[in-house]
Amino acid sequence: MRTALSRLLVMPSGGHSIPPVRLPDSVRPTVSVVVPCYNYGHFLPACVESILSQEGVEVEVIIVDDASPDGSGEIVEKLAATDDRIVAVRHERNQGHIATYNDGFARATGDYNVMLSADDLLTPGSLSRSVALLEAMPNVGFVYGPCRQFCGEAPSMQETQAKSWLTWSGADWIEARCRSGFNVIATSEVVMRASVMRQVGAYRPELPHSGDLELWMRAATVSDVGFVVGPEQAWYRLHEANMHKTMFDGGTANGQLVDLRERWAAFRMLFENAVVPIPRSSELEAVVRRRLARQAFNTASYAFARGFRHFPVSEFADLGVQIDPSVTRSGSARALSRRQRVGMPPEWLAVHPLWAPRAAWSRLEGRARTWRRGLVGV
């Protein structure tokens, strides 16, 4: 059932469903896993164990501690002393997360590369499932799969066998990103071919918030993209010290504004600095401009309908116009204008009755996007 549904859902984005095959026992590719760490030393033992316990591949673990003041560096060195597959790197001064990522990848020697934050985990069998696809399909530059969020204790695996593989041409995958405007990858679930990273380069320091999105799209300019249907490929830990919260106000209204602004920066960087020419680049840039600008106005409209009095409505509208000036003639802009004329609902009313259906639809759209991303990756 899941295979048939994934095949149906992926067709509009140009994807193809392929029966999976297991990684041959005679093949043991090397996967370099870069683990950036800043004050996450207490999470490191579990993270590293999730890597070293991977079967079917040879792993190289490169832990880069970015001058953590909490003693994480000492934990890194202790772990490295226990296993010769672990490389310990300690920065003498803090260099920031992008420099830390790139330092790790510059030291990688494997056939494939992964970046796994020190607070996250790989699932059992994750690397062999991804590498099997990459070994079978040399045209695919990177593979990802479902990623589950968790708090506290790590989840248990419900399934370990891939149900199917999905692949897209790089051009189709980039177009799908432009038409949605959203990143569909958390980062830890990606395995990238090292040769592709050498060709396109690593993370851009100009994009501290959305460098991952731009990197995946940049890789898709020179290769195809794969997705493992079925098992979770990584577990993303939620806690109060998550970088998206401490650095980018994740979970707040300002965090939403930062996210939208930085997603646009990633798309703009892609089109301005393409490694190779992107087919229909002018058309796709116009598509993503419209999409992101309307997202800005739709987000502001939703906040108005829900009576969020301290929401930065004008900042969202200004950003939308900055991205695409023609958005002022769109239905999204007209909807916000109508809501502003009517005014917010009273504080005791959860949602303005005039806008309740649209507010409900916005929530449904978000949930459907999350469900689809977990099933087919787009």
Helices (H), the chain: 2-10, 44-52, 72-82, 97-106, 126-136, 170-180, 194-200, 211-220, 243-246, 253-272, 281-306, 313-323, 331-342, 356-376
pLDDT at 1 (0 to 100): 57
| DSSP tag of 325 | G
Instruction: For each of the domains in the chain, give its residue range(s) and CATH number, in order of start.
Output: 2-245 (3.90.550.10), 280-376 (no CATH)
Q: Which two tokens stand for residue 231?
A: 């098992």
Q: What is the pTM of this model?
A: 0.92
Cα 233 to the center of its chain, rounded Å: 13
pLDDT tens-digit profile, the chain (378 residues): 566 666 667 767 778 899 999 998 888 999 999 999 999 999 999 999 999 999 999 999 999 999 999 999 999 999 999 999 999 999 999 999 999 999 999 999 999 999 999 999 999 999 999 999 999 999 999 999 999 999 988 888 888 899 999 999 999 999 999 999 999 998 899 999 999 999 999 999 999 999 999 999 999 999 999 999 999 999 999 876 565 544 545 568 888 999 999 999 999 999 999 888 899 999 999 999 999 999 999 999 988 888 888 899 999 999 999 999 999 999 999 999 998 988 888 776 777 787 778 778 888 888 888 888 888 888
pLDDT of residue 248: 43
pLDDT value, residue 207: 96
- What's the pLDDT at 192? 98
- Residue 339: its pLDDT value, please? 87
Q: What is the model's pLDDT at position 50?
A: 98
- Burial state string for 163-198 with b = 16 or more CB within 10 A and e = fewer than 16: bbbbbbbbbbbbbbbbbbbbbbbbbbbbbbbbebbe
- Distance, in Å, from the CA atom of 205 to the CA atom of 272, rounded to the nearest integer, reads 15
